[in-house]
Structure formats: structure tokens, C-alpha cells
Amino acid sequence: MAMRPPSNDTNEAGAMDFGIARVDAELDHYDIDYPARAEDLQKRLGNVEIPYDTRGRTIKLGKAIAEAGVREFEDEQALLNALYPVFDEYRSGSVSFVERMRGVLPF
């Protein structure tokens, strides 16, 4: 299954943006001074919901930053690099048993 290619419009996150692409788009809405402490980012961005897969399941950005296990980010790229494995783990391994059963059963 293919996804549509990203548009050149960087003003809004697209309907199919998720994971790091969505984080990158959301960060454009904030004026963040780097280096930035993880604790400060968690307070400021903690309640921002980021979809981590095409089904629209989300994680709060503050939780993802905490799970990255990094105390300080030198720049935005360092933040995105640290968050990538967190979002990848959620995307690839977060489907619960109940969610798998719902996908298999016809109701």
C-alpha cells in the first residue's frame, strides 16, 4: 500500500503525516531555543498529540520525549533523531492483542 507523497506546503500537517514527519511539522509552530532541556520541552509540548501510525493512534509528545531518554537536545535535528526510535517502536510494535482481534473479526 502506497502513501501519497508529501506536499510542498509546510504550513499545515497533512492528513497522512504521522511520526517524525508530524513532529517536525508541529515544531514549526513553536519558537524553541536550542540547546533545549528535555524537561522544559516536556512541559511546553507535553500535551501535543502526535499520530504514530496511519490508523491515527497517538502519543503525547511529552511522553515520547521522556521515553527518548535524552536530557538535552543541541538542535531540532538532535530532537528528531532521538524521537525517531520511540515513534518507530510504537508504529511497529504497539498493536495490542485486542486491536489485532478487532482487525480479524468482522465486527
Write out the chain's pLDDT in tens, 107 residues: 344 445 555 445 455 688 999 999 999 999 999 999 999 999 999 899 999 988 888 999 999 999 999 999 999 999 999 999 999 988 887 555 555 556 556 65
Helix axes 76-93, 20-27, angle to 10 degrees: 140
Instruction: Provide the number of structural domains found in the chain.
Output: 1
Residue 84 within a domain = yes
pTM above 0.85, yes or no: no
Residue 1 within a domain = no
Q: Which domain holds residue 41?
A: 20-94
Helix or strand (DSSP H, E) at 84: helix 76-93
